[in-house]
Chains A and B, each alone.
Chain A
Amino acid sequence: MRFLMYEVGASASTPPSPALMAEMGKLVEETTKAGILLATGGLGANSTRVRSSSGRVAVTDGPFTETKELTGGFALVEVKTKEEAIEWAKRFRKIVGDGESVVQEVFGG
């Protein structure tokens, strides 16, 4: 089973501290060694929305305050159960502190 994990709603204005980066590096190494991390990456602070409505497409630049934006980064993992994905998400949250992550199954991968 593949799961996408990402952070939502975190403030993207403050860059992560070197200590946090080091902890994150360790987690990436650990998940790579465990053979479960398929892909990971950080997300840029600025997002652009492309909306379609009644056949018309509108492009709007962020930032967007009204909804929780995808922030920080994402990880695509391959594990046997949803609980396993959640356990890794918990380990991630312990490192990054307050905030919220979303864990969602990916089909057709």
Chain B
Amino acid sequence: MLQSTAVTAADAHRAIDAVWRIESPRLIAGLTRIVRDVGLAEDLAQDALVAAVEQWTESGVPDNPGAWLMATAKHRAVDRLRRDERLDRKHAEIGRELEAAQKMATPVPESGDFGDDLLRLVFIVCHPVLSTEARVALTLRLLGGLTTEEIARAFLVPEPTVAQRIVRAKRTLTAAHVPFEVPAAGDLEARLESVLGVIYLVFNEGYSATAGDDWMRPALCLDALRLGRLVAELLPREPETHGLVALMEIQASRTRARVGPAGEPILLLDQNRGQWDQLLIRRGLVALDRAEALGGALGPYALQAAIAACHARARTAAETDWAQIAALYDALAQLAHSPVVELNRAVAYGMAFGPAAGLELADALISEPSLKSYHLLPSVRGDLLAKLGRSDEARSEFERGASLTRNARERQLLLERAAACPPESTV
């Protein structure tokens, strides 16, 4: 009789992929603690995956796949370290410890015990000794469970480039003897900044993807959210971990509303708020509450999340609490001053306190070299000047903005606004 539960090889592969996505981060983390080398740990984990594919395709996924993978990888570790025995005494020592531990039938730790190892892995893959590209690739591969091919597709680079980046990154970590540990209190803040920076970079890469792109690109938002939520659970006492999660959840809540039917971008204030994902907004507001409940001044991520939350709480664009947003931009400008933050502050001031107040801030940016070819500065100034009735100046600003943007639709919009400015003599 045929068994109705019989699975095809393709089904089995997909099931194994799913197990791998769930189990690989803590598998690699646990192995790194044992062999003290992240590159070797990943090789061993990959060996275990190959063994799993061979066996599970035949016999199905075992009851506790995580424990199976760990046990298999540990056996490989013993074999490999024993092979290196004559070459390297330290490795041999680890191998013997491991063997002894296995003889005593050490139970595989409960899932909760993996937390510390995972956190160490988070800090190692985002270590400052690595370039930003290397941190991103290693994070997605070792913590996100993505394949090299998936990372390459998502970042629009050739697969060998990503493979090279990962190989070099692992070598760099080994050569620099980067310890497998959570940074000490004094270093924690700076090291955490690097971790959160990598996650937010991945998120923005996905967020900037457009409708025609490969689905791997927008999926990066989901990868970043997963990583952010993981780090927030591993470091629940750090307000910025919750701040970043809050920011990403609220931004992700607008995914459906921010692109029109023809793929054109829709600005925040023009979006149909009914399309915002209320579940993600609620999760974002809860995360922001957690950041605020930890006390102290809000960090840059929590402040940006608080600004995003002001928009999320307003049922219509007209209900937006611009005074609160302006105050939050004041705080953000003090903490993380940049011309782009300053320009956003000018917009908020214009909405909260009138166009003259906004223009005063925007005018201070005219000589800013980094904004010289940034189309949003003339766009913002044009808007504020038009509201003040300074029509001629507004028109020339909109035209300048149109000449600077590379987005065809945006250019068209700016030219329309320029054409709508009445000649001043007739006003």
* Chain A bound to chain B: yes
**With A and B bound together, what is the CA distance between A23 and B227 in angstroms?**
24
Contact of A34 among B63, B219, B226 (CB under 8 A): B226
Within 8 A of B (CB), among A1-55: 26, 29-30, 32-36, 38-39
Q: List residues of chain A with CB under 8 Å of any chain B CB.
A: 26, 29-30, 32-36, 38-39, 76, 78-81, 83-84, 86-88, 94, 109
Q: Is the Cβ of A83 less than 8 Å from the Cβ of B230?
A: no
Interface string of B38-53 (1 = CB under 8 A from A): 0000000000000000
By DSSP majority rule, is chain B's interface helix, strand, loop, or mixed? helix
Other-chain contact of A78, B19, B63, B111, B222 (Cβ < 8 Å): B222
Q: Is the CB of A36 within 8 A of B279?
A: no
Bound complex: CA A81 to CA B17 (Å): 9
Give A84 to B226 CA distance when docked, in angstroms.
Answer: 14
Q: Which of B110-147 contact A (CB under 8 A)?
A: 111-112, 115
Closest A residue by C-beta to B150:
A80
The B219-235 residues at the A interface (CB cut-off 8 A) are 219, 222, 225-230, 233-234
- A86-B18 in contact (CB<8A): yes
Contact partner, A38, options B18, B227, B279, Cβ 8 Å: B279
**Residue contact B21 to A84, C-beta cutoff 8 Å:** yes
Alpha-carbon distance between A109 and B19 when the two chains are bound, in angstroms: 24
Q: B226 and A87: CB pair below 8 A? A: no
Is B226 in contact with A35, judged by CB distance below 8 angstroms? yes
Contact A94:B18 (CB < 8 A) given known A36-B226, A38-B283: no
Query: B17, A109: Cβ atoms under 8 Å?
Result: no
In the complex, 23 of the A-B residue pairs with CB atoms within 8 angstroms, ordered by the A residue number, are: A26-B111, A26-B112, A29-B112, A30-B111, A30-B112, A32-B233, A33-B115, A33-B229, A33-B234, A35-B227, A35-B228, A35-B229, A36-B226, A38-B279, A76-B279, A78-B222, A80-B219, A81-B18, A81-B21, A84-B22, A86-B15, A86-B18, A87-B22
CA distance A80 to B22 in the complex (A): 11
Contact A109–B219 (Cβ < 8 Å):
no
**Chain B residues whose CB sits within 8 angstroms of the CB of A35 once the complex forms:** 225-230, 233
Q: How far is the CB of B52 from the nearest CB of chain A, in Å?
A: 13
B283: chain A residues within 8 A (beta carbon): 38
| A33 with B233, Cβ < 8 A, contacts A26-B112, A39-B279 known | yes
Contact partner of A33 among B14, B18, B230, CB < 8 A?
B230
User: Do the beta carbons of A81 and B226 come within 8 Å of each other?
Assistant: no
Residue B410 is within 8 A (CB to CB) of chain A in the complex: no
| Contacting residues, chain A, for B277 (C-beta < 8 A) | 109
Shortest distance from the beta carbon of B139 to any chain A beta carbon, whole Å: 13
Contacting pair A87 B18 (CB below 8 A): yes
